[in-house]
Amino acid sequence: MILRTTMAALFAGAILLSAPAMADDANTVTIKNFDFAPMALTVSAGTSVTWHNLDGEPHTVVSVDGVFRSAALDSGESFAFKFTKPGVFKYVCSIHPKMVATVTVK
């Protein structure tokens, strides 16, 4: 029981300490070296996901099913989209269609 309490406290502490960073990172996709990271992101409905292009090359974020489409994102630019409905949303960079990733909305 004591052990369980300690662990719970540690866990809670970890969440508190990193809460701002985690809230941000959890809904963010980084674009670097011609890759989306993470390639598979899971969020809950109502979440805004932000893509940051950290590459020297422009990229786009284009839903395969036409649900969302960014403009060309130059280095340092971002795009955000709010997912309201559950589903698996596959997307590509329309400039480099080898770059493929998904957002799963629960």
Contacts with another protein by CB under 8 A lie at 33-34, 55-58, 60, 64, 69, 71-72, 74-75, 90, 92, 94-98, 100
Indicate the Cα dihedral angle 68, 92, 32, 39, nearest 10°: 90
Smaller CB distance to another protein: residue 4 or 98? 98
Least gap, CB of 33 to another protein (angstroms) = 4
Smaller CB distance to another protein: residue 9 or 33? 33
- Report d(CA 7, CA 106) in Å as an integer: 28
Smaller CB distance to another protein: residue 22 or 37? 37
Smaller CB distance to another protein: residue 25 or 65? 65
Least gap, CB of 98 to another protein (angstroms) = 5
Containing 89, the helix (H) or strand (E) segment is: strand 87-92
> Which position has the token pair 């674009």?
31
Contact between 86 and 25 under an 8 Å Cβ cutoff? The reply is: no
Least gap, CB of 106 to another protein (angstroms) = 22
Burial class (CB in 10 A: 0-12, 13-18, 19+), 62: middle
Least gap, CB of 55 to another protein (angstroms) = 7
